Amino acid sequence: MDQNLLSGLSDMGLGKLEGLDIYDSSDQDGKNSKNGSADKEPVVKEEDFLFDKTYGCPVCDREFKIKAVRTGRVRAMEPDMDLRPRHEHIDTLKYDMIACPYCGYAGYGKGFQYLTPSQRKAIKENICGSYKPKKEESQLPYYTYDEALERHKLALVNAIVKRGKASEKAYICLKTGWLFRGMREALLPDEPDYDNKKLEYEQTENQFLRNAYDGFIHARESESFPIAGMDQMTLDFLLTNLAIRFEEYDTASRLVASLLSSKTTPARIKDKTRDLKMMILEKLREQKANE
């Protein structure tokens, strides 16, 4: 299953790495308005919310620019039930990964700058040696979903090669799953092959979220909080959603009980957790009826 999640790396010279497992045995320790604007220029453009940010690559030491979101300018909308963030006029998830266009090293957040000497060596040997930089940089003032996916897959394969924590890989899988949801939402019903694409995006989203779920369940037992920037309450709420998605109702019920009994869970999250509890009971009733 993981094999096709990393497909497309061969275009970057990293075909050898397409078959890597995300979690090897040692781990045991907004919709984008672009598509809808073919004949009419939108008043608000995605690039209005972006700026060029400069990074120094900790692997090849070169400087490069990426497009980043002006966080003060975007307006947040109600997130999806599983906490996927949504913003007006822009899918900010496309801009989460930092990728060096010269050597193929990629990661996210503050962790991008920090590599141990052995991680740096592993990335040089397994990524940089075969990475093929793009011949032409895109001239578009924003990232397409395809470009965003490329950057996410590059970040994932880097995390695997450098033997990153389960939570780091799970986080990239979560974000990639959410990207596929964004792609599906941006599909227009009159697009050629609409039904097939919709199904394919849905299935790929599920595969990435399944990997995120497994990785976070493992991280919850083996890492200390915050995990991927989340406190226990936030992670448990996310995991409850994922557990329901994958019909792991025992785990979902346990997480719900812990969220509802904790004094530190805010009222808003408790309300949403009660909704999830109803959902679980409903699903269990359905399951019984079908037996």
Q: Where does this chain bind Zn ion (CB under 5 A)?
A: 57, 59-60, 100, 102-103, 105
Backbone angles phi, psi at 134, to 5 degrees: -65, 140
- Shortest Å, Cβ 134 to Zn ion: 14
Cis, bond preceding 226 (omega within 30 deg of 0) = yes
Helix (H, G, I), strand (E, B) or coil at 146: helix
- Shortest Å, Cβ 161 to Zn ion: 14
Backbone angles phi, psi at 100, to 5 degrees: -80, 120
- Shortest Å, Cβ 96 to Zn ion: 18
On whether the CB atoms of residues 171 and 212 are closer than 8 A, the answer is yes
- Shortest Å, Cβ 131 to Zn ion: 9
Return d(Cα 182, Cα 240) in angstroms, integer: 21
Return d(Cα 52, Cα 59) in angstroms, integer: 21
Backbone angles phi, psi at 205, to 5 degrees: -55, -45
- Shortest Å, Cβ 19 to Zn ion: 24
